[in-house]
C-alpha cells in the first residue's frame, strides 16, 4: 500500500498569527494556489484510489482539489483533525501565552485549558491509521490530507515510536510525505516534498 500524507495549504490563521489548532479558518488565496499545484503534481505521478481528509476547512478545501481531479469522493474523518488546543484556539499567540502559559512536565494522560492530552492525541492517530491500513487493498494508493501536528502523530504511529519519545516532523504548506507498506516492511520514500510550489 502506498500512502501519501499531505498537509493543508496556507490558511488565514497563518497571516493573523493566531493559535489555530481547532480554530476553523479558510485557506488563503495562496493556499488555494498551493493546493491546486499540489493536486496536479500528484495527478501527474500517481493513480489514487481513495482520499481521506480532516473536516476542518483548511484541510477539506485542500482535499477538494484532489477530489475533483481524481473524481473521487472525500472520506471525511474527525480523527484526522488537528490537536484540540481548547481555550487557546483562535487567540493571538501573545494573548494565549499570557492567559494560558505553557505547563511543563505534564503527564501524558493529563491536559489543561480544555485541551486533549498527549495520550488522546496519539490514540486518535493510532486509531485512524489502523482504520486506513485495514480498510484498503494492499496494492492501493491512498491520500490523507491533514494537519502538521496530526501528521507528526501519524508518523510516530506508522513507525511505532513510543509516546515517550517526542519526535516532530516538519511539514510545509501542502508538503507531501510518501510511505509504502509491503507486508510488514515499512518505507519512508520521501518526506515534506514541496517541489510543486517551488
| The C-alpha cell that represents 124 in the structure block | 486518535
At 108-164, the pLDDT tens digits run 999 999 999 999 999 999 999 999 999 999 999 999 999 999 999 999 999 999 988
Q: What is the pTM of this model?
A: 0.94
Q: Strand pairing partners for 52?
A: 75, 144
Which tens digit of pLDDT belongs to each residue from 36-64? Answer: 999 999 999 999 999 999 999 999 999 99
> Are the CB atoms for 119 and 108 separated by under 8 Å?
yes
Give the number of other Cβ atoms within 10 Å of residue 55's Cβ: 13
- What is d(CA 63, CA 170) in angstroms, rounded to the nearest whole number? 20
Radius of gyration of the chain (CA): 17
Q: How many CB atoms lie within 10 A of CB 67?
A: 19
- CA dist., res. 100 & res. 187, Å (int): 39
Torsion angle, alpha carbons of 101, 104, 108, 110, to 10 = -50
Q: 2-197: which CATH topology?
A: Rossmann fold (3.40.50)
pLDDT per position as a tens digit, 92-115: 999 999 999 988 889 999 999 999
The contacts of residue 185 (CB under 8 Å, 6+ apart) are none
Amino acid at each position: 500500500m502506498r500512502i501519501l500524507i499531505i498537509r493543508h495549504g496556507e490558511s488565514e490563521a497563518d497571516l493573523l498569527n493566531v493559535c489555530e489548532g481547532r480554530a476553523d479558518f479558510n485557506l488563503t488565496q495562496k493556499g488555494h494556489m498551493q493546493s491546486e499545484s499540489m493536486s496536479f503534481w500528484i495527478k501527474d505521478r500517481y493513480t489514487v484510489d481513495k482520499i481521506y481528509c480532516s473536516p476542518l476547512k483548511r484541510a477539506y478545501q485542500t482535499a477538494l482539489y484532489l477530489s475533483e481531479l481524481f473524481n473521487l469522493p472525500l472520506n471525511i474523518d474527525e480523527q484526522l483533525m488537528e490537536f484540540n488546543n481548547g481555550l487557546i484556539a483562535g487567540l493571538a499567540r501573545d494573548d494565549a501565552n499570557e492567559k494560558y502559559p505553557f505547563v511543563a512536565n505534564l503527564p501524558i494522560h493529563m491536559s489543561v485549558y480544555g485541551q486533549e492530552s498527549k495520550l488522546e492525541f496519539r490514540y486518535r492517530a493510532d486509531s485512524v491509521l489502523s482504520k486506513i491500513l485495514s480498510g484498503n487493498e494492499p496494492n492501493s494508493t491512498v491520500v490523507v490530507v491533514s494537519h502538521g501536528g496530526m501528521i507528526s502523530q501519524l508518523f510516530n504511529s506508522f513507525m511505532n515510536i513510543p509516546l515517550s519519545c517526542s519526535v516532530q516532523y516538519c511539514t510545509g504548506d501542502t508538503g507531501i510525505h510518501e510511505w509504502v507498506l509491503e507486508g510488514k516492511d515499512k518505507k519512508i520514500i520521501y518526506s515534506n516534498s514541496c517541489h510543486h510550489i517551488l
